[in-house]
Structure 1
Amino acid sequence: MLATEVPFTLPRGVLDSSGALHRDGVMRLATARDEIEPLRDPAVRANGAYLSVLLLARTVVRVGGIEPVTPEILENMFAVDFDHLQRLYERLNASGEVVGTVTCPGCGDAFDVDLSAIEDGGLGG
């Protein structure tokens, strides 16, 4: 079965209006509409770099208790977190791999894995 949503952990996290930190979230696979609709937006026409913000706003389902994830939330993310989401988006939607971030229970380090390998029994399963 194809996983259409993938969990992730942001390197730094998003601060909400009350100062709470949110790091864990979910991104879904993009549809053709997700990639077409933002091209009509005047902000993208004025600045092509804004396309990434709108693509992520359409595909990041939630970050912690923040739902929906709006362009304004993404604009205020730490650069390292925004970059992390951009790279995850590219990996999820550019190939057949389904990548997620997991945390080692022993050392606490976070790293990306191909989640399709888990379904196929490729990670010791």
Structure 2
Amino acid sequence: MRVRENPAYLSVVLLGRLITRLGTLTDVDAGVVEQLFAADLAFLQKFYEKINTDGSSLATTVCPGCTHEFDVDMGSRLGG
């Protein structure tokens, strides 16, 4: 019902059904996803889109100390 009222809520519902664990939380649902900081939710949405678009779990990041850009395989931490 909430998705019909607000189509943007679909990503919250979707992530709530897909995420099985978040840190020490083992019971993740849409309510938990709603409580995330906007930047964390945006990261999860972007990561979900990346995995499903190109099948890659590589994320490009930058070292804050030396500004060296490198890739990190986020998939090695999924489900483990």
Shared fold (TM-score, shorter chain, > 0.5): yes
**1:45 shift after superposition:** 0.9
Q: Are the structure 2 counterparts of residues 115 and 70 from structure 1 closer, same or farther at C-alpha, using a change threshold of 3 Å?
A: closer
Gaps of 5+ in 1: 1-41, 119-125
- Identity fraction in percent: 44
Higher relative contact order, structure no. (Cα contacts within 8 Å, ≥ 6 residues apart): 1
1:48 is matched with which residue? 7
1:96 is the counterpart of 2:55: yes
1:68 is matched with which residue? 27
**1:68 shift after superposition:** 2.0
2:39 is matched with which residue? 80
More strand by share: 1
Query: TM-score scaled by structure 1?
Result: 0.47
In 2, the alpha carbon distance for the partners of 1:115 and 1:84 equals 12
Secondary structure, aligned partner of 1:61: coil
Q: Are the structure 2 counterparts of residues 115 and 85 from structure 1 closer, same or farther at C-alpha, using a change threshold of 3 Å?
A: closer
In 2, the alpha carbon distance for the partners of 1:67 and 1:100 equals 24
More helix by share: 2
The structure that has the greater radius of gyration is 1
**1:77 shift after superposition:** 0.7
The two structures, once aligned, show a CA RMSD in angstroms of 2.9
